[in-house]
Chain A
Amino acid sequence: MHPRIIWAIARKDALDLWLNKATLGGLLAPIVLSLVYLLIGKVIGNSTMNILVYNPGTSNVVQILDSFQNTQVTQAGSSSEVSNAFSGVVSKGATHYAVGLVVPSGFDASLVAGDRPQLQLFIDAKDVNSQTRVLVEAAIVNYCRTVASPQPPVDLVTRVVNQAANTNMAATLSKFYASLILLVSLMVGITFMPQILIEEKEKKTLRMLMVSPASFADMLLGKLIVVLVYQFILTGVVMAIQEAFTGQVALVVLYAVLGGLFSLSLGLLLGSLFSTVSASSAAIGPIAAIFIIAGIFVGPLGDMLSSSPVTRIVHFLPTYYIAEGVWNATQNLGTFSSQLLDIGVVLGSTIVFFAVAAWALRRQSAVAASI
């Protein structure tokens, strides 16, 4: 391996990617998507949702509500203060609350003990639509599941007051969207890694490299570096736009890095399978779509879809564990074992894909001249 040559190949590929208008459009797509979503969120979902919470035991379940976009959580002094706020008898000048929650003392310990503690959830239908209500309920149940898996041993009692009104569901999905947009940004590796590899074969420039001082390993490493750098920059930008660096930031960064490596190893594998860009493009589109879809099956939406048989299939996709890991990390959710599972699946599949790709490409390097 020659660092100077690896750097030379990385510089050339960076320049080539920059000059490739189609590639440049693809590189910017996740950023544009993030900005569009941000704009929609700002335009439609700018109203603040006031939440009144009685939480004497300081359970983390409150953070679930706090994680929804544009929320303002107020601590109540008693459970009756919460129930009165939703009784319809509100004194003039008092704050209007959209959601109320009464958490019993020692809630988390009761969950672990299997005592089936009761949570009282108050919803003002004027401010919170039915979809958002389902998302809130699902998020609470999901939290309980992470504390005491597998079944949520909680008695969630929801009381809805007033008539339904239209509210912005998109705003409540902001955090969930962060994990989805991360998967979208990972498409850089899956699409561009094979492209720059296959182009060398298709345009026969690989032959030129093979008679130069560059080795096949130099060539691969140069390409991996340039795509990885693009990948990390893009992921960082879209995650920042989505304000995803919250909660357990170190874990969020870890998933972004692991996701980038996974994406690259899969891209490398695809690059080893195809010899023409057109053939690879036809296959990469559906593969990328399948991998992105996994991001829908996490968080509150995942809880809503948990009974769907598709969910079980999605659990076979490594990207599901990336999205779940990011979701849990941004929400301060998840246990050590669940994070370990997510990290293990992503890391394991990355290693497997990389090993298979390395084996296939090594075989190709032996006949590089005849590619």
Chain B
Amino acid sequence: MNLETVIEVEDLRRSFKEKEAVAGISFSIERGEIFGLLGPNGAGKTTTIRLLTGQIDPNGGRARVAGCDVVRDRTKLKALIGVVFEDQNLYDRLSGRDNLRFSCWLYDLPESRADDMLALVNLADRAKSPVRTYSTGMKQRLMIARALLHKPPVLFLDELTRGLDPISARDIRGIIEGLRQEGTTILLTTHLLDEADQLCQHLAFIVNGRLVAGGSPRELKLAHGKRSLLVVAADPQNPNRLSETTLGMDDARDTARLNELMREGNVRSIHSQEATLEEVFIEVAGIRPA
């Protein structure tokens, strides 16, 4: 294994009764990288996280996280990972501070660490309030604080910003980007393709338990998206009236149409258009994301 490879997955499999939730996936994640696992609901994203965090055993294949085999070195692995779950699983009668103090006790950390983390996620002023009085965004920030409490080198984030308002989601993305810059390796699952585009250095699309495409966002867009131009042209009958036309760069008929517009001299401006991840997803998965 390369020294810089923090997560290495080879032909990982997991079935629940008849259904194969993860069907032989392979990928690797380098240190300090945010890796996005994208796919529709039920595609196998959460099962992959459960396998990599040692919550469930695989039926086949192998995976190493931070140098630990996820089956054989489970106890050691637990100290090296932090997990933000899809569900907001906090003790809602306890205060935010008590939730974090409990994690301090579990990881044998000084209780002052709880206050440091509450300050990091801007919850210091609500530290003593019961968690049941927190908003969804506050709970999510508290879960991030809990996951970071023991300074894990690897972080798993399952549907990080689901249900959050745009401001909270932006704040949380800021925290995650800061962690990446400090060298934390992050695997996040999401079905929010814009979020993945902003945060991730590498992406993998998972559909029905299989990885159907992978690479950096730019590579994926170039490889799978349709290149196009937005052409703004004047109406020959009424030069003050402008119209917009999207023309594919790889389509012969569109190329001919562009040449025609240029010859007529009515073109006012041309903008190159990059494919979106949603278009890539539709292209590689054949379905729209959830």
Residue of B78, B85, B92 touching A212 (CB-CB under 8 A): B78
Q: Which of A6-50 contact B (CB under 8 A)?
A: 7-9, 11-12, 15-16, 19-20
B156 and chain A: residue at smallest CB distance: A211
Chain A residues bordering chain B, tally (CB within 8 A)? 26
Residues in A with CB closer than 8 Å to B89 are 203-205, 207-208
What is the minimal beta-carbon distance from B248 to any residue of chain A, in angstroms? Answer: 46
Contact indicator A12/B105 (Cβ below 8 Å): yes
Check if A157 is an interface residue, CB within 8 A of chain B.
no
Check if A94 is an interface residue, CB within 8 A of chain B.
no
Contact indicator B103/A212 (Cβ below 8 Å): yes
A18 and chain B: residue at smallest CB distance: B93
Known A-B contacts A207-B55, A368-B55, A369-B50; A11 and B91 likewise in contact (beta carbons under 8 Å): no
What is the minimal beta-carbon distance from B59 to any residue of chain A, in angstroms? Answer: 13
Contact indicator B107/A211 (Cβ below 8 Å): no
Check if A89 is an interface residue, CB within 8 A of chain B.
no
Per-position 1/0 for B8-37, Cβ under 8 A of A: 000000001000000000000000000000
Contact indicator A211/B105 (Cβ below 8 Å): no
Known A-B contacts A8-B106, A214-B106; A208 and B93 likewise in contact (beta carbons under 8 Å): no
Q: Which of B53-83 contact A (CB under 8 A)?
A: 53-56, 75, 78-79, 81, 83
What is the minimal beta-carbon distance from A210 to any residue of chain B, in angstroms? Answer: 6
What is the minimal beta-carbon distance from A312 to any residue of chain B, in angstroms? Answer: 45
Contact indicator B56/A369 (Cβ below 8 Å): yes
Check if A370 is an interface residue, CB within 8 A of chain B.
yes
Residue of A4, A16, A213 touching B94 (CB-CB under 8 A): A16
What's the Cα separation between A204 and B98 when bound, in Å?
18
Residues in B with CB closer than 8 Å to A203 are 89-92
Secondary structure of the A side of the interface? Answer: helix
What's the Cα separation between A229 and B75 when bound, in Å?
29
Contact indicator B102/A12 (Cβ below 8 Å): yes
Residue of B54, B91, B98, B130 touching A211 (CB-CB under 8 A): B54
Check if B108 is an interface residue, CB within 8 A of chain A.
yes
Contact indicator B103/A204 (Cβ below 8 Å): no
Chain B residues bordering chain A, tally (CB within 8 A)? 28
Check if B171 is an interface residue, CB within 8 A of chain A.
no
Residues in B with CB closer than 8 Å to A313 are none
Residue of A19, A20, A207, A213 touching B78 (CB-CB under 8 A): A213
Check if B87 is an interface residue, CB within 8 A of chain A.
yes
Residue of B78, B85, B92, B94 touching A15 (CB-CB under 8 A): B94
A17 and chain B: residue at smallest CB distance: B93
What is the minimal beta-carbon distance from A197 to any residue of chain B, in angstroms? Answer: 14
What's the Cα separation between A12 and B114 when bound, in Å?
15
Residues in A with CB closer than 8 Å to B87 are 204, 207
Residues in B with CB closer than 8 Å to A368 are 55
What is the minimal beta-carbon distance from A106 to any residue of chain B, in angstroms? Answer: 65
Contact indicator A212/B107 (Cβ below 8 Å): yes
What's the Cα separation between A11 and B105 when bound, in Å?
9
Known A-B contacts A12-B94, A15-B98, A368-B55; A207 and B107 likewise in contact (beta carbons under 8 Å): no
What is the minimal beta-carbon distance from B46 to any residue of chain A, in angstroms? Answer: 10
Check if A367 is an interface residue, CB within 8 A of chain B.
yes
What's the Cα separation between A19 and B94 when bound, in Å?
7
Residues in B with CB closer than 8 Å to A204 are 85, 87, 89
Q: Which of A210-257 contact B (CB under 8 A)?
A: 210-214
What's the Cα separation between A237 and B16 when bound, in Å?
50
What's the Cα separation between A12 and B92 when bound, in Å?
12
Residue of B50, B93, B106, B146 touching A5 (CB-CB under 8 A): B106
Residues in B with CB closer than 8 Å to A205 are 89-91
What is the minimal beta-carbon distance from B86 to any residue of chain A, in angstroms? Answer: 9
Residue of A15, A20, A212, A369 touching B106 (CB-CB under 8 A): A212
What is the minimal beta-carbon distance from A218 to any residue of chain B, in angstroms? Answer: 9
A369 and chain B: residue at smallest CB distance: B55
Residue of A19, A210, A369 touching B93 (CB-CB under 8 A): A19
Known A-B contacts A15-B98, A16-B94, A19-B94; A211 and B81 likewise in contact (beta carbons under 8 Å): yes
A368 and chain B: residue at smallest CB distance: B55
Residues in A with CB closer than 8 Å to B146 are 208
Contact indicator A211/B83 (Cβ below 8 Å): yes
What is the minimal beta-carbon distance from B263 to any residue of chain A, in angstroms? Answer: 64
Contact indicator A210/B75 (Cβ below 8 Å): no
Other than the known A12-B94, A203-B91, A208-B146, what 4 A-B pairs have Cβ atoms closer than 8 Å?
Answer: A19-B130, A211-B54, A211-B78, A211-B81
Name A's B-contacting residues (CB within 8 A).
4-5, 7-9, 11-12, 15-16, 19-20, 203-205, 207-214, 367-370
A-B pairs with the 9 shortest C-beta distances?
A369-B55, A8-B105, A204-B89, A19-B93, A12-B102, A204-B87, A205-B89, A212-B106, A369-B50
For this complex, 30 residue pairs linking A to B, each with C-beta atoms less than 8 Å apart, are A8-B105, A11-B102, A11-B105, A12-B94, A12-B105, A15-B94, A16-B93, A16-B94, A19-B130, A20-B93, A204-B85, A205-B91, A207-B55, A207-B89, A208-B83, A208-B89, A209-B106, A210-B55, A211-B53, A211-B83, A212-B106, A213-B75, A213-B78, A213-B79, A213-B106, A213-B107, A367-B56, A368-B55, A369-B50, A369-B55
